[in-house]
Amino acid sequence: MAYSYDELRQTMVDSQIRTTDVTNLRVVDAFLTVPREAFVSDQRKPFAYIDDDIEISGPSAEARRFLMEPSPFAKLVQLADVQSGDLVLDIGCGTGYSSAVLSLLGNAVIALESDEELADRASEILLENGFDNVAVVTGSLDAGYAGEGPYDVIFIGGSVDSVPDALFDQMKDGGRLVVVEGHGLGGFATLYVKDGAYVSGRKSFNLSVKALPGFQRKMEFSF
């Protein structure tokens, strides 16, 4: 069966993204441009535009990883308000889809991934598809990537228990950090903004997305 990915992409935008209060035209255009099917395995390409998360982790992965469902991802991208001159840190880039979308909105993207297999795939896919303003790097997700910072935007591609101070330290003055704090029905999309040495955050809307490894609170025992 032949698939028209252009048509599926248009349908995704019309039925999943525009209908969930994503109105920023630059964001909409980015989702219409990036070929989502290029960032999943061959057997999952027919399902690239479904209204669901798609597993992207390989058999050797320590933790299951997913390509985020289009609608929640688009809402988070819109919340980040990426401007054309922005330097973006994309934490948990997976196979690179999120970085590709962000690269069309900002000036350059540092795509951080802890899974070396995913990072290699992301580099290859991004290069093959002409996203040459993205640099894929490997390292612990909760540590960020201070060597290329500070950043105008830090985008965390999954839900976390809390945001480490190390990431706030990598924000520029006036910079934004977008994350889903909490899990399941208790998750909230939160926007942090830095003003001098002070970082303030506000919960924007309830959102449930897959957890990102490396951000779990360590259990504490009291006696």
Tens of pLDDT, residues 15-40:
999 999 999 999 999 999 999 999 99
pLDDT at residue 221 greater than cutoff 50: no
Arithmetic mean of pLDDT, 60-75: 89
Average pLDDT over residues 50-67: 86
> If pLDDT is split at 50, 70 and 90, which confidence band does 60 have?
low
- Give the residue numbers spanning the domain of 53: 5-206
Please indicate, yes or no, if residue 175 is contained in any of the structural domains: yes
pLDDT of res. 99: 98
| Interval 58-66 mean pLDDT | 76
Q: Is residue 104 part of a domain?
A: yes
Region 3-24: mean pLDDT is: 95
Task: Examine residue 216 and state whether it is found in any structural domain, yes or no.
Answer: no
User: CA torsion angle for 77, 83, 89, 92 (degrees, to 10)?
Assistant: 20
Q: Residue 59: pLDDT band by 50, 70, 90 thresholds?
A: low
Q: In the predicted model, what is the mean pLDDT of residues 165-173?
A: 97
* 116-128 and 97-105 helices, crossing angle to 10°: 50
Q: 60 vs 65, which has greater pLDDT?
A: 65
Residue 17's φ and ψ, nearest 5 degrees, are -100, -55
Q: Write the CATH number for 24.
A: 3.40.50.150
Q: pTM score, two decimals?
A: 0.94
pLDDT at 171 over 60: yes
- The CA distances from residue 9 to 6, 19, 28, 100, 132, in Å, are 5, 14, 11, 15, 22
Q: Would 219 be classed as within a structural domain?
A: no
Residue 217 counted as domain residue: no
Mean pLDDT over residues 103-131, rounded? Answer: 97
Mean of the pLDDT values across residues 133-144?
A: 97
Residue 122 inside a domain? The answer is yes
For residues 70-74, average pLDDT: 98
Span 117-125, average pLDDT: 97
pLDDT of residue 63: 79
As a whole number, mean pLDDT of residues 99-128 equals: 97
Give the pLDDT score at 3.
67
Q: Which of 12, 149, 127, 130 is nearest to 73 (CA)?
A: 12
Considering the domain boundaries, does residue 222 fall inside one?
A: no
Query: What is the number of domains present in the chain?
Result: 1
Q: How far is CA 93 from the centre of its chain?
A: 6
* Residue 146 falls inside a structural domain: yes
Residue 222 has pLDDT above 80, yes or no: no
pLDDT at 137 over 80: yes
How buried is residue 33: exposed, middle or buried, by Cβ count under 10 Å (0-12/13-18/19+)?
A: exposed
